[in-house]
A = this chain, B = another copy of it.
């Protein structure tokens, strides 16, 4: 038997429950394909990724990939939507009622956790941005922009209340995103600099603290090492 069958079967067989609910095959196979697609798109980019490579990594025949997602582009959009769903929401930590230093520090640490746990997702997003956001432009101009505008109001309110110094919100978020995502996207570079093939938990923690320290102090807030 091919690895495909083994892998697919494993997915739910572990504990024998709900092995046969209505759409369970669809759900399982779509997840299998999305997972494989994330890997291939992350390492090869959109044009470099082939549906054959995705199918092989998913353990399914290529025709099956097209059966579930139609075209390569539709599959790519599905992967991107998955990622964006994952990333949005972490900004909820930043509200006017909260403490600026705590909120920013928590947000940075949460973002760094994403870089450590889902580096492939970050890489797909990085590819998409570098390529000019062909599939994401509307999202950037609408959802993301208004989300940042909303959080900008919080920062302004904090500054007006003397709770922090005034900082350009777009550049503040850009620095936070750039610095945290760097540890996913440029993992291999940082790894070479610290002399380890793979980054250790400590590396991510140290990185997060360095970023927290710079951002807090840059905003005129107190920072104390944990």
**A residues near B, CB below 8 A?**
42-49, 123, 126-127, 129-133, 137, 140-141, 144-145, 148, 167-168, 170-175, 177-179, 181-183, 185-186, 188-190, 192-195, 206-207, 210-211, 213-215, 217-218
Given contacts A47-B49, A126-B126, A214-B214, 4 further A-B contacts (CB under 8 A): A126-B130, A174-B179, A213-B218, A215-B218
A211 with B126: CB separation less than 8 A: no
Q: For residue A72, give the distance in angstroms from its CB to the closest CB of chain B.
A: 12
Contact (A129, B43) CB under 8 Å given A171-B206, A179-B179: no
* A207: nearest chain-B partner, CB-CB: B171
List 11 A–B pairs whose Cβ atoms lie within 8 Å, in order of A's numbering. Answer: A45-B45, A47-B49, A140-B193, A144-B189, A144-B193, A148-B193, A167-B210, A168-B206, A175-B214, A177-B182, A217-B217
Give the docked Cα–Cα distance between A172 and B218 (Å).
14
CA distance A214 to B164 in the complex (A): 13
Pick from B123, B129, B214: contact of A186, CB below 8 A: B129
Which of B130, B167, B179 is within 8 Å of A42, CB to CB? B130
Which of B170, B182, B206 is the one whose CB lies under 8 Å from A193?
Answer: B170
Complex Cα gap A172–B194 (Å)? 12
Using CB atoms, name the residue of chain B closest to A182.
Answer: B178
